[in-house]
Amino acid sequence: MDDELNRFVIYMSAERNFSPLTIDLYKREISEFGAFLRRQGLTAWAQADRPVARNYLAWLASQGIAKGSLARRVAEVRSFYQFMLREGILAVNPLAALHAPKTEKLLPEFLTVEETVALLTTPDVSKPDGLRDRAILELLYASGMRVSEIMGLNMGDVSPAQGEALVWGKGSKERIVLVGKPALLALDNYLREGRPRLLGKRQCSAIFINRLGGPLNQRSVQRLLEEASAAAGLTKHVTPHTLRHTFATHMLDGGADLRVVQELLGHANVSTTQIYTHVTQSHARRVYLNTHPMARAGRPADSTGEK
């Protein structure tokens, strides 16, 4: 069973260009399914069937695994079995009829303009790492880039004159993102004053580097967001992806076309971007109900005294 999974790992890396983190997740969770099969006395992937797979999902649910994670695991296992079918490892796919449990679609959380400004201005720009952190926060909000895309930026990938950055998105897809003047200014300050002090006499092609002069990692950016949101007094759980959500929501609130936002975010399907239209509609409804005097129950009496 390990041989087939190893072949799938090579396929994900060589042909699908999945990120190392995604590949590790697939391998670990499909291995867990394999371990479950062995506990049932099964010694080959082909011996699994839909009832066995459903028992596996029931066992995961009993361990407190959320519905969203269950749906992800179903997608991983189905992808693995489809691969084995295409490669001739299986004659039929015994899990073709397996479906993920229905999950509640949660609207992505985003920040208001005031919260965003408070967050972006928390770094201490008198220090080189503060200049770096300010540039990262400004770029996340200004461009809607994923944190992996920002960490993948190298010297020369950003064109201040054009207000653009060349990034590599999911599946190693190349795209151009737009960057506004405040973010370009923060980046320029970091590149002129902060990065040289962090780099010293070392060499590194990555734009964003740590105190040792090496590439900054994603965990450091996640920690930056945690510290910045606390310093800004925000009660929301803020992650790098929160600023991506905020970028998209503010763009649509400002009247941007859905297809433009789709292109800037690098979404392959517009349906992925449409979730943000629900966010803006939901926000508009809350504002309406909270502010319009005739929108709430028990509205004030009119001039005749009638309700």
Tell me whether residue 128 is in a domain: yes
Same domain for 48 and 183, yes or no, is no
Q: What is this structure's pTM?
A: 0.60
pLDDT in the model for residue 172:
66
Question: Does the pLDDT value for residue 284 go beyond 80?
Answer: no
Which tens digit of pLDDT belongs to each residue from 68-77? 788 888 888 8
Same domain for 27 and 123, yes or no, is no
The sign of the dihedral angle between the CA atoms of 294, 298, 302, 307 is: positive
Residue of higher predicted confidence among 22 and 131: 131
pLDDT in the model for residue 225:
93
Same domain for 76 and 127, yes or no, is no
Same domain for 21 and 127, yes or no, is no
pLDDT in the model for residue 232:
93
Kind and range of the H or E run holding 158: strand 158-159
Per the annotation, the verdict on 99 as an active-site residue is no
Question: Does the pLDDT value for residue 114 go beyond 90?
Answer: yes
Range scoring the smallest mean pLDDT among 98-107, 159-168, 278-287:
278-287
Binned at pLDDT 50, 70 and 90, residue 307 comes out as very low
How far is Cα 265 from Cα 108, in angstroms, rounded to an integer?
A: 15
Domain boundary among 70, 86, 102: 86
Per the annotation, the verdict on 27 as an active-site residue is no
Q: Which of 132, 134, 195, 244 is catalytic?
A: 244
Same domain for 36 and 73, yes or no, is yes
Tell me whether residue 199 is in a domain: yes
Per the annotation, the verdict on 81 as an active-site residue is no
Same domain for 180 and 76, yes or no, is no
Per the annotation, the verdict on 241 as an active-site residue is yes
Binned at pLDDT 50, 70 and 90, residue 47 comes out as confident
Q: Which of 67, 170, 236, 283 is catalytic?
A: 170
Longest CA–CA span in the chain (Å) reads 82
Angle ∠(117,122,125) on CA atoms, nearest 5: 115
Binned at pLDDT 50, 70 and 90, residue 264 comes out as confident
pLDDT in the model for residue 1:
74
Question: Does the pLDDT value for residue 23 go beyond 70?
Answer: yes
What is the average per-residue pLDDT within 234-243? 89
Which tens digit of pLDDT belongs to each residue from 124-183? 999 999 999 999 999 999 888 889 899 989 998 999 888 888 888 676 678 888 888 999
Number of domains into which the chain is organized: 2
pLDDT in the model for residue 306:
44
Per the annotation, the verdict on 267 as an active-site residue is yes
Q: Which of 134, 146, 245, 250 is catalytic?
A: 146
What is the average per-residue pLDDT within 290-296? 58
pLDDT in the model for residue 268:
66
Tell me whether residue 302 is in a domain: no
Which tens digit of pLDDT belongs to each residue from 189-204? 999 999 999 999 899 9
Tell me whether residue 184 is in a domain: yes
Same domain for 121 and 80, yes or no, is no
Binned at pLDDT 50, 70 and 90, residue 286 comes out as low
Question: Does the pLDDT value for residue 283 go beyond 60?
Answer: no
Q: Which of 7, 27, 54, 241 is catalytic?
A: 241
Tell me whether residue 262 is in a domain: yes
Domain boundary among 86, 121, 147: 86
Same domain for 47 and 119, yes or no, is no
Same domain for 265 and 118, yes or no, is yes
Which tens digit of pLDDT belongs to each residue from 81-91? 999 998 888 88
Binned at pLDDT 50, 70 and 90, residue 285 comes out as low
Same domain for 137 and 280, yes or no, is yes
Binned at pLDDT 50, 70 and 90, residue 295 comes out as low
Tell me whether residue 218 is in a domain: yes
Per the annotation, the verdict on 170 as an active-site residue is yes
Closest CA to 160 of 135, 141, 195, 137: 135
Residue of higher predicted confidence among 36 and 293: 36
Which range marks the domain in which residue 236 is found?
113-290
For residue 209, give the CATH number of its domain: 1.10.443.10
Locate all alpha helices (DSSP H) within the chain, ordered by sequence: 2-14, 20-39, 50-62, 67-86, 113-120, 128-143, 147-151, 181-189, 195-199, 218-231, 240-253, 258-265, 270-273, 275-291
Question: Does the pLDDT value for residue 123 go beyond 70?
Answer: yes
Closest CA to 129 of 239, 227, 42: 227
Tell me whether residue 92 is in a domain: no
Same domain for 132 and 64, yes or no, is no
